[in-house]
Structures are given as C-alpha cells and as structure tokens.
Amino acid sequence: MSGPLRRDLSSLTEREFDLVVIGGGIFGACAARDAARRGLSVALLERGDFSGATSAQSFKMVHGGLRYLQHADLRRVRQSSADRHTLLRDAPHLVRPLPIVVPTYGHGMRGKEALRAAMAVYDALTFDRNFSISDPRRRIPRGRCLSRAEVLERYPGLPEKDLTGAGVFSDGQMINPPRLVLAFVRSAADAGAVVANYVEAGRLVVRDGRLSGVAARDLLGGKELLVRGRVTLNTAGPYAEGLLAEAGLPLADRTPWSRDAYFVVDRPLVPGTEALALPARTSDPDAVLSRGARHLFLVPWHGATLVGVWHAVYEGDPDVYTVGQSELQEFIDEINAAYGGLDLTLDDISLWNAGLIPFGENDPTSPDLRFGHRSRLIDHAAEHGVEGLVTLIGVRFTTGPSDAARAVGLALAKLGRGAPPPSPAPVHGGDVPDVDGHVAGLLARGPAAAPAAALRALAHNHGSTADRVVALARERPDLARTIADTDVLRAEAVHAVREEMAMTLGDVVFRRTDLGTARHPGSAALEECLGLVAGEAGWDEERRRREIKAVLDEFPPGLRPRGTAHPPAASAAERGGET
C-alpha cells in the first residue's frame, strides 16, 4: 500500500523530468498517471488545489455517448463508452451507473419507437461496455421502456398531452469528482510522479526553438522554481491559451468557451435513484437526427438534486465568471414550466456550480448553441516551430483517460521512446471488486461511534484505503465522531492534512470530504473542521481567520445557512479566484 501524499518542492528542481504536466484537473491527472505508469519521470504542477476549478464543478455525469447518435458521430459514441467503462472499472468506489428516464411524446422522433430504436443501436455499438467489469452493480444495462401509466405514477408533474411512456438508459455518475481526480493524482504519485498543488506555472522557458522548462512559483511560500522537462504537456483548461500567449505562442484558432452552470436543491425532487430528463427551451443545431429540444436533468445525488445544465458563451477572463440571481431565476422558471408541481424558488437553491468547457463556434445571442465535440491536441512543433511542448484542451471530464493517453503518446514520440499503454489497473483506492460488499464490511468493522451514513460515505470516497481513516479513528476515539451534524468523520479532516496534501481549509471542505459538496454545512461544522485542520497544520489565529473567510467566500452570495455567524462575501468567481 502506498504512503502519504507529500508536497516536496525540492524534488521538482533536482532533475530534468521526461514530462512536466501543467494543470491538475482530470486531464492532467490522467496524463500524469498514464505517463508515470509507462516509465516516464513526471512532474505535475497545479496552481490551486487538484480538481480545484472546472473538474470540481462537473455535473457529476459520465457520458456514454447515446446522444451523439443524433450527430451520427459513431466514433465519439465508441470513445465515450470506452472512457465510461474505464472509470467504472478502475474507480468502482467513485463511479456508478446512473439510470436516466427520458419521457416520450407522440410517435415521431420524440416518440417511444424512435427512442427504443436508438437505444437498441446504441446497445449494439457498445456491446463491449461491460467487459472486465467484475462487479455486476457497476455494469451498464440495456435500454428499456416504461409505459405511460408507469411514467405518470412516478412523475405526476409531467405534461400528459401526447405522453406515450419513456425510455430508460444508463450513463455513469461520479460520487465525488474531486476525489476521483485525487485518485488519479495519487496513482501517478504511487507510480513515481512528483506532484504539487499551489505551484503556478508562470512562464514557459523557450530557448533555441525548444521548451526547456517551466518557471513556476510556490503560491504558499512565495519561492520561485524552475521545473525542467524534456517535454511539457499543457493541460491548464481555460488557462491553457493564456499561458501560451504569454510565451508568445498564441493559437491560430482560438478555443470558444461555454460557462456550464447548474444548481443544487437540498432535497429529492424525483423518486428513487433514477435521473429524469426534461425538455429544455433550446435545441441542438448540429443534430442530424433531431428529437427536438435538448434536455435538462433532475439528478439524485447525496440526498440532494442536481438541476441543469445551462450553457452560455463566455469570452472573458476565466477567473471572473459568475451566475447571477436573474439567471438562476430564469433557470428555475424553465424547470418549473417543464415539470409542474415543483414550484421551485431561489430559496430552494443550496448551491450553484459553474465551470468553463470548450464550446462550438456560436453567436452569443443565439438561443440554440453548438457544443464542443472533441478535445484539442496541439503539437507546438507544427503549430509554432517550438519543440518539446504539447497542449491538450479537454472537452469533457469523461474523456480524460483516452485523451490523456493520446497526449502521452505524442510526448513519447517526441522523446523517441516506445512504451505501450499500461495494462488496466485500479486507481488509488479502487481495488474494490465488490463495492456493496466493501461497504458492508466497513459498516461491520468501523468504530461503534461512527454513524452508518458516515461509514458508507467513507467507503465510497476512500475505497480500499478507507481502513487508514478507520485506524486513525481507533487511535483517537474523538475522531470517530462526525463533524457537527454532517456525515463526515472528524478523522477524515485529519487524514486529509496528514496524507492527502490538503494545504488549506477549503481543500478539506470542498475537495477531500463531502462537507461543502452539496450544501453549506453551517458555521458549527466549519468551525469544528477548522479546529481539526488548524491543529494538524499549526495555524495561528490570523491564519485561522483567513482560512474560514476564504471558505465562506467560496459559497455564492445569498446562500447563508441558518445559524452561521459569518455573512458570505463575494463568490470565488466574483473575487477573482477559481470556482
């Protein structure tokens, strides 16, 4: 079993790496793991925390490609299904199948017959979607249909006119996206990569037509670093092009961006564990076989409901986008119109999330927008005549594994080395052949003081390494209790600092535990977590004040929980920080 994750900045400057990866979201994490497992020496730099920006704001869905049939894009169907399979197989504790109910109307393209045929074609195209997935509950089932009566019994608020029933297909759902990214980061470190958060890549060092390294800065200590690499892979997402432009390497074709947004309602809006698709007010102009309106989704998650996603062309600074109250009201109005009886108001929103992803070329005033279809892999030897630099701008969280493998393959070619893709292996914590059995085992052997709900969450978030947290709780019985009235054990916060490179309170609240993932946990929970983290990190009172304020600033304005003593300030996006 691997050891703790350590932030050792001296290891970044002691040697020249085969590959330096900039950006610790899903694409950078997957690339670092893939490259390290192929035998390359790897450094991974992230300017904030791992999965601290767009990857963390994901809608938590792992898309298998069914909707790409409308584009007649069979290659993308196959790639998405393969990547979903990889995540279900290698991270079974953090990714599970998500059934989605799609109501059908009439007997044309929106009808049950057309959807049944599409699901049959999809099932045939993805015949290998469950190969090597040992846990039956992690396998993607075939599509099926529901009768009109069954649909109305489950969802009485749906419009009844012309309703003929529904199709049910399954995609994947991430239980905790930041922990999924962290599992890839830790797997990279287990394979020998040097990884560091809060290290900002400030300048690409180009000499004699070759990139020789990255001038970086430790954002916690202020130290300047030079990280040398034979090849550098830029996976900085919406910051990638800015980094290139500062080095005098602007892309000829600018990447358009979408601000994808959704909100969270802190209660179930649909029964059971199935998501419900609702018609949006927009359509897909790229569809070859159009079913009319695009879909919005009500998705059960952690006892709450994710509602979205809405897209908007974004052309500004990637640090300052936000979602306004008027936009949220428009979102609510659209959902209420599509599903009667919800009667949602702004007061029902516990959180909103937004991130920037590559988009299609669009007029910002157009109601029907073109989505980005594929990730961009750029060889700067061909683009700018600069050797040793590759950029990967990823389009969807789902395609992280395969797009990263393509980028690493290009880096290997530049290094003049041949190394086949590594054989399949679980990510850090993913050695869980039977997830339900793993959960049951942890419930049986966990500390008596730990509530069942907290142990279930621990089993999923930590997978096969959950016993490390349990051991800590046994060593210190006070850590076997939960933080306030949440489902997060006190031991998880201490473990995050000791073993998971959590450097700030926000790292623990938003990315190492479930404290702030679906709702504001309340001031009591935040103060208790602060005490645990500060005790481990040795923070003084001034540092404690800064840390609690920074966490409160991460919550959007107006989402103040009952009993909090700290009025929320501007959101991270509004104050110029990453969301």
Query: How does DSSP assign 366-392, residue by residue?
Result: -SS-PBP-S-EEEEHHHHTS-BTEEEE
Do 512 and 472 lie in a common domain? yes
Are 444 and 543 in a shared domain?
yes
- 263 in the same domain as 249: no
In a domain, 527, yes or no: yes
Mean pLDDT of 464-469: 97
Same domain, residue pair 185 and 150: no
| CA gap 142, 123 in Å, rounded | 6
Q: Is the pLDDT of residue 560 over 80?
A: no
Give the tens place of pLDDT for each residue, 175-222: 999 999 999 999 999 999 999 999 999 999 999 999 999 999 999 999
Q: What is the mean pLDDT of residues 373-400?
A: 93
Q: For residue 537, what are its two tokens?
A: 């990190």
Domain contains 547: yes
Instruction: Please check whether residues 94 and 235 belong to one and the same domain.
Output: no
What's the mean pLDDT in 224-251?
A: 95
Placement of tokens 């929970």 in the chain: 525
pLDDT for position 576? 28
Of the chain, the percentage scoring pLDDT greater than 70 comes to 92
Domain final residue pick, 366, 383, 415: 415
Residues 6+ apart with CB under 8 A from 547: 504, 505, 506, 530, 533, 534, 539
Question: Which range, of 59-73, 90-104, 224-238, 488-502, averages the lowest pLDDT?
Answer: 59-73
- Provide mean pLDDT across the span 323-335: 94
Co-location of 237 and 263 in the same domain: no
| Contact (CB, 8 A) for 163 and 146 | no
- pLDDT score recorded for residue 516: 94
Is residue 286 over pLDDT 80? no
Residue 530 lies in a domain: yes
Q: How far is CA 458 from CA 156, 292, 428, 470, in A?
A: 35, 42, 14, 9
What the block records as the tokens of 185 is 């980061």
Confidence of residue 363 (pLDDT cuts 50, 70, 90): low
Is there a contact between 275 and 297 (Cβ–Cβ < 8 Å)?
yes
Longest Cα–Cα distance of the chain, Å, equals 71
- Residue 139 phi/psi, 5-degree rounding, is -95, 145
Q: What is the mean pLDDT of residues 33-45?
A: 98
Is 562 domain-assigned? no
Q: What is the pLDDT of residue 284?
A: 58
What share of the chain has pLDDT > 90, as a percent? 80
Is 577 within a domain?
no
**Which are the contacts of 529, defined by CB distance < 8 A and separation ≥ 6?**
483, 488, 493, 505, 508, 509, 513, 515
Q: Residue 571 has what pLDDT?
A: 32
pLDDT at 110: 87
Per-residue pLDDT, averaged over 94-111, amounts to 94
What is the number of structural domains in the chain? 3
Q: Which two tokens stand for residue 570?
A: 């501007």
**Angle of helix 541-554 relative to helix 523-537, nearest 10 degrees?**
140
- CATH number reported for the structural domain that contains residue 186 in this entry: 3.50.50.60
pTM for this model (two decimals): 0.93
**Strand 224-234 vs strand 16-22: parallel, antiparallel, or unpaired?**
parallel
pLDDT for 561 equals: 40
In 3D space, the residue among 189, 107, 99, 96 whose CA is nearest the CA of residue 138 turns out to be: 96
Q: Return the closest-CA partner of residue 181 out of 493, 495, 433, 512.
A: 512
What's the pLDDT at 563? 30
CATH number at residue 475: 1.10.8.870
| Type of residue at 21 | V
Specify the 3-state DSSP secondary structure of 457: helix
- Interval 93-105 mean pLDDT: 97
The closest alpha carbon to 88, from 520, 455, 430, belongs to 430
Domain extent at residue 517 = 435-554
In DSSP terms, 262 is beta-bridged to 308, 353
- Give the integer Cα–Cα distance in Å for 171 and 160: 26
Within a domain: residue 297?
yes
Residues 261, 304 within the same domain: yes
In this model, does residue 70 exceed pLDDT 90? Answer: no
Distance CA(270)–CA(276), nearest Å, equals: 7
396 shares its domain with 495: no
- 232 close to 214: Cβ distance less than 8 angstroms: yes
431: helix, strand or coil: coil
Work out the mean pLDDT of the chain and round it to a whole number: 91
* The pLDDT of residue 539: 97
Which whole number is the average pLDDT over 73-99? 96
- Does pLDDT of 575 surpass 50? no
| Per-residue model confidence (pLDDT) at position 577 | 30
Cα–Cα dist 397/171, whole Å: 13
Instruction: Specify if 146 maps to a domain.
Output: yes
How many C-beta atoms surround the C-beta of residue 248 within 10 A?
Answer: 10
User: If you average pLDDT over residues 303-311, what whole number do you get?
Assistant: 94
Paired residues of 279 in beta bridges: 295
Shared domain check, 474 and 352: no
pLDDT of residue 3: 83
Contact 402, 79 (CB under 8 A): yes
pLDDT at 567 over 60: no
Nearest to 71 by CA among 400, 396, 371, 406: 371
Q: Which residues pair with 354 in a beta bridge?
A: 261
Contact 247, 203 (CB under 8 A): yes
Same-domain check for residues 47 and 78 = no
Q: What is the mean pLDDT of residues 250-271?
A: 92
CATH of the domain at 170: 3.30.9.10
Number of residues that this document lists for the chain: 579
Residue with tokens 């051991």: 471
Say yes or no: 352 and 280 in one domain.
yes
My answer on whether 38 and 22 are in the same domain is yes
- pLDDT at residue 280 in the model: 85
Contact (CB, 8 A) for 426 and 417: no
- Distance, in Å, from the CA atom of 353 to the CA atom of 56, rounded to the nearest integer, reads 9
295, pLDDT greater than 70: yes
Whether 264 maps to a domain, the answer reads yes
Q: Residue 67: which pLDDT band, with cuts at 50, 70 and 90?
A: confident
